[in-house]
Structure 1
Amino acid sequence: MIVDTHLHVIDREALDYPWLSDVEPLNRDWLYKNYEREARRAGISTTLHMEVDVATSRIDDETAYVKTLSQREDSLIAGAIVSCRPEENDFSGHLESWLSDPFVKGLRRVLHVMPDDLSEQPLFRQNIKRLGGSRLTFDLCVLPRQLDKAIALVDLAPDVNFILDHCGVPDIAGDARQPWRDRITEIAQRPNVTAKISGVVAYADPESWIAETLRPWVEHTITSFGWDRVVWGSDWPVCTLGGGLLAWVAATHALLEGASEDEKAKLLNANARRIWDL
């Protein structure tokens, strides 16, 4: 069974998403009940919700909303990676609340749509270092050109467990293998970084990709990080831009042909259960 470490629920009646109107294919409700049906069909047994960059004033509301979803009978949701603003002065106050709530498994500040120097701000770096030694992970969602800044952040906080989202967001459709390939190799040398095998179907040509299209990107990420430092994510509903959840799960199984049962188990569930105590 699969642990999905990257589900986004979008409910426009419940929350505000400032960015959504600029992404027309996703500009509608993507509710948990719709995800759950496909997830169960795909063999997903446990899910972590990933923050959806809601309006800053609604961050706590998003966490509360997702928690209500987790409390439904037989819900797949076992925890949440919540939104944060390390560049703001009130981060430390929020951190105390997150640490006291076992439902909160980690944090993320979306970086790939922000100015490249955001993670270089002194307050941002100071607040990320506050996570050192805690159970909370920090997801890095960066473009290939930003991977060097992600590496610098990781090096400044060696006691923080970082999760690199979406294989480092490669441009698969454009076959842009550099600097992505070299920087994945480099960031993987940091033992406090785990790679998330997710998102890649949205970066390939939606009309023509097949499992073999994704193989060089997925295999390089897994080879660089090793089987003990990779987890799997659906990136639903963003994965619908490249064929959807069931297509991505099927491609994943095709890409894992030849891997041992132990290696498959580590990627698909065991590593996630260990990292987030699921």
Structure 2
Amino acid sequence: MIIDAHQHFWNYDPVRDSWIDDSMQVIRKDFLPKGLRPVLEANNVDGCIAVQADQSEEETEFLLECAKNNPFIKGVVGWLDLRAENIEERLTHYSKHKLFKGVRHIVQAETDDAFMLKPDFLNGINKLEQFGLTYDILIHEGQLSQAVALVEKCPNQQFVLDHIAKPKISNGVDSIWEKHMRALGAYKNVSCKISGMVTETQDFKWQEKDFTPFLDVIVDAFGVDRLLYGSDWPVCLLAGTYGEVIQIVQRYFEKFSKQDVLKVMGENAARIYKLD
């Protein structure tokens, strides 16, 4: 079983999706389940997890509707305002949807160096545990120390770090990134998605060997039980095809046991996100 633990859908809106700038023309259009299904089938992927790309409950409703109508979408990581006073009420509402598996906030766009450590945000994070929901950490590498502090404050919450914290791949492994990744890996309630790497390269130019040192670090830091394959489709299309992205991961793990490969490519995602 192969599960793509990280991909997105959207009906392109130039105002809402203004983050898709002029350098990203290839993804300035709609990306919906009907477009992903044949791609997954061609790459022998059995299912996926749809992750929010817009910070609204409308986005969460949209993704849940996509999942309801497309059985290959095994779960949704949506958005709720974790800082809201009524967050417990909203979590109660969305937890009634069996495909609602977790929450994500686009922290990489926040300029406050302590955003994730604010009392209102921490209150929301601390509510997730009682509902059995994950929290996806989306940050850039400069926010890693903040992520470590967050995890330290929430020892029982299940965290999933997206995109190996978005290091600058073309510059090689940075010692500070590595230090923080190893610090996060020391917490057993933190997992890491092998995703988003191709788009963290200079001008979207890369060779497969560029990723090996980074993969070496995260395997050593997290172990094969806490790593999840994710494509980051359609964003990955800026730098490569779906097939090229999945092959980076599959070829790296060729030297591992079949059991370890199954964990990284799907079993860990099924366990961590509690997929049916």
Residue matched to 1:28: 29
Q: Is the 8 A contact 2:198 2:204 kept in 1?
A: no
Residue matched to 1:194: 191
Aligned length: 273
3-state SS, counterpart of residue 173 of structure 1: helix
Establish whether residue 181 from structure 1 lines up as the match of residue 178 from structure 2: yes
Could you list the per-position Cα deviations for residues 2-52 of structure 1 after superposition, in whole angstroms to 9, with x for gaps in the alignment?
101111011137x94353457643332222222222111111111110001
Residue matched to 2:68: 71
**1:97 partner letter:** H
Q: What's the offset of the Cα at 1:68?
A: 2.8
> Given the alignment, which residue of 217, 230, 235 partners 2:232?
235
**2:9 partner letter:** V
**1:226 partner letter:** G
Q: What's the offset of the Cα at 1:142?
A: 1.1
Q: What's the offset of the Cα at 1:195?
A: 0.7
Could you list the per-position Cα deviations for residues 51-102 of structure 1 after superposition, in whole angstroms to 9, with x for gaps in the alignment?
0124xxxx332233223322336x3101100012222323222111122221
Q: Following the alignment from structure 2 to structure 1, what is the Cα–Cα distance between the partners of residues 102 and 187?
A: 19
Give unpaired runs (5+ residues) of structure 1. none
Establish whether residue 50 from structure 1 lines up as the match of residue 56 from structure 2: no
Establish whether residue 12 from structure 1 lines up as the match of residue 12 from structure 2: yes
Q: Is the 8 A contact 2:173 2:214 kept in 1?
A: no
Q: Is the 8 A contact 1:132 1:157 kept in 2?
A: no
How do 1:117-196 residues align onto structure 2 when only pairs under 5 Å count?
117-175=114-172, 177-196=174-193
Q: What's the offset of the Cα at 1:254?
A: 1.1
Q: Is the 8 A contact 2:67 2:99 kept in 1?
A: no
3-state SS, counterpart of residue 106 of structure 2: coil
Q: Is the 8 A contact 2:67 2:76 kept in 1?
A: no
Q: Following the alignment from structure 1 to structure 2, what is the Cα–Cα distance between the partners of residues 160 and 210?
A: 36
Establish whether residue 276 from structure 1 lines up as the match of residue 273 from structure 2: yes
Q: Is the 8 A contact 1:206 1:241 kept in 2?
A: no
Q: What's the offset of the Cα at 1:239?
A: 0.7
3-state SS, counterpart of residue 85 of structure 1: coil
Q: Following the alignment from structure 1 to structure 2, what is the Cα–Cα distance between the partners of residues 23 and 52?
A: 18
Establish whether residue 106 from structure 1 lines up as the match of residue 102 from structure 2: yes
3-state SS, counterpart of residue 170 of structure 2: coil
Identity %: 26
Q: 1:106 to 1:176 in 2, by over 3 A?
A: same
Q: 1:16 to 1:28 in 2, by over 3 A?
A: same
**1:162 partner letter:** F
> Given the alignment, which residue of 91, 97, 100 partners 1:95?
91
Q: Is the 8 A contact 1:6 1:47 kept in 2?
A: yes
Q: 1:23 to 1:49 in 2, by over 3 A?
A: farther
